């Protein structure tokens, strides 16, 4: 059975100031659409997933992807940096696969010491709920297995995270003539299959 995302929440993440409770978005069964005007947080919404899945975020100022651990200060809410001596920057997803519910959180703790803003590296927390009891998943390999196999599997990630900036990263759209074929090639892995066919033919000739 596939994964169903139940909710996402942000804490002091870019323009999402405040706690998870204040910035929680619950999804309904079926198709859910995130709609907002420009500069209202759609890319930041997307960045939560990118941070969790690949430790990267899209930097709109530089129009490029950046290492999340090098961008944590920029990811922190401006209001939190100005008003709170200690706070957390985080992204949390609750999802269900089969009869098991998972809560995955990516976060960093911030504090101000002698006027200097300090923070921890990105950290991950994974909870697995079975029989109404939450069990922490502490093993790092098991955490990544849940992220890469259960949450959004690696095999479909290119299809699942198609945002404007991510398309620019995957495919060179500057050439209209080749854009469609490049898109299909990148997303479907046709070039890999072509390579396998070519290698098979060459080996058959030599055999």
In order, the DSSP letters of 149-179 are: IIIS-GGGHHHHT--HHHHHHHS--S-HHHH
Q: How many angstroms separate the CA atoms of 70 and 142, rounded? A: 25
Q: Does 22 score more than 80 pLDDT?
A: yes
The half-sphere exposure of 113 on its side-chain side, counting CA atoms within 13 A, is: 5
pLDDT (average), residues 104-113: 95
Rg (C-alpha) for the chain, rounded Å, is 20
- Identify the pLDDT of residue 153: 83
- Identify the pLDDT of residue 187: 61
Confidence of residue 64 (pLDDT cuts 50, 70, 90): confident
- The predicted model scores a pTM of 0.76
- Identify the pLDDT of residue 43: 82
Evaluate whether 23 touches 3 at the Cβ level (below 8 Å).
no
Q: Does 104 score more than 80 pLDDT?
A: yes
- Identify the pLDDT of residue 173: 54
Greater model confidence, 103 or 181:
103
Residue located via tokens 């996402």:
8
Q: How many angstroms separate the CA atoms of 19 and 102, rounded? A: 20
pLDDT (average), residues 105-120: 94
Instruction: List the alpha helices (DSSP H) in the chain.
Output: 42-54, 72-75, 78-83, 140-145, 157-160, 164-170, 176-188, 190-206
Greater model confidence, 158 or 207:
207
Classify burial at 28, counting beta carbons within 10 Å of its beta carbon; exposed 0-12, middle 13-18, buried 19 or more: exposed
Confidence of residue 76 (pLDDT cuts 50, 70, 90): very high
- Identify the pLDDT of residue 207: 84
- Identify the pLDDT of residue 61: 80
Q: Does 164 score more than 70 pLDDT?
A: no
């Amino acid at each position: 059975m596939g994964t169903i995302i139940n909710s996402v929440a942000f804490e002091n993440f870019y323009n999402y100031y405040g706690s998870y409770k204040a910035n929680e978005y619950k999804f309904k069964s079926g198709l859910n659409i995130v709609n907002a005007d420009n500069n209202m947080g759609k890319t930041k919404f997307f960045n939560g997933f990118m941070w969790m899945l690949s430790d990267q975020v899209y930097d709109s100022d530089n129009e490029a992807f950046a290492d999340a651990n090098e961008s944590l200060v920029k990811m922190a809410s401006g209001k939190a940096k100005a008003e709170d001596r200690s706070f957390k920057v985080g992204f949390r997803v609750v999802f269900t696969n089969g009869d098991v519910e998972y809560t995955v959180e990516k976060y960093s703790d911030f504090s101000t010491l002698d006027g200097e803003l300090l923070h921890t590296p990105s950290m991950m927390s994974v909870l697995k709920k079975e029989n109404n009891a939450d069990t922490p998943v502490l093993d790092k390999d098991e955490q990544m297995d849940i992220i890469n196999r259960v949450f959004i599997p690696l095999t479909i990630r290119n299809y699942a995270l198609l945002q404007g900036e991510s398309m620019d990263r995957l495919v060179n759209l500057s050439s209209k003539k080749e854009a469609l074929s490049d898109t299909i090639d990148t997303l479907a892995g046709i070039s890999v299959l072509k390579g396998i066919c070519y290698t098979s033919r060459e080996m058959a000739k030599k055999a």
